[in-house]
Structure 1
Amino acid sequence: MITEMAEIAVKAGTDQQFEAAVATAAPLFQRARGCRSMRLERGIEQPDTYLLIVEWETLEDHEVHFRQSADFQQWRRLVGEFFAAAPKVIHTRKALTGF
């Protein structure tokens, strides 16, 4: 399993609209090939910064199957206007579990 973490800075004052748009977009992830879960977390020290955390079966499920889909284009139409900058995306794989 691969975890995608996207750090998303939103324009000041658009937090509620952004969160509503992500909620609207959730079904796009739910039906995506290989998507196991998706959640949005909001920064405490930087409340205009969010982390979108998505678990994928494989990197290809995200980078190829989702990113090249019409659903990805719809995702960007729904949320893109709220971005203050391009999201910073990294992919991780579990290295150690302590608890």
Structure 2
Amino acid sequence: VTAVSGSGPAYVFLLAECLAEAGRAAGLPVALSRRLARATVAGSGELLHRSDDAPETLRKNVTSPGGTTAAALELLMAADGLQPLLTRAIAAAARRSKELAG
């Protein structure tokens, strides 16, 4: 539980950091990039919270086939993409939780 829920907010905040940095690297002003990242994470979280739909349904609903989001998701959902990275990160947090518990 700790590895997913207790540490989870830090993962979401890191996502916002990464979005903001990617925006800055793409040429957006830092302040604008941070505002966009914050609004994106907050708005998406609110939609997820209020919806009865599964996360994958929400993702599919905002992804146009062949569009910009689909191009990005192709990388994020690759065999070496976000899912396996998060799985390893959560396993590391779970191991550390067990170590701390003694």
Higher strand share: 1
**TM-score with structure 1 length normalisation?**
0.34
Higher helix share: 2
- Greater length-normalized contact order (CA 8 Å, ≥ 6 residues apart): 1
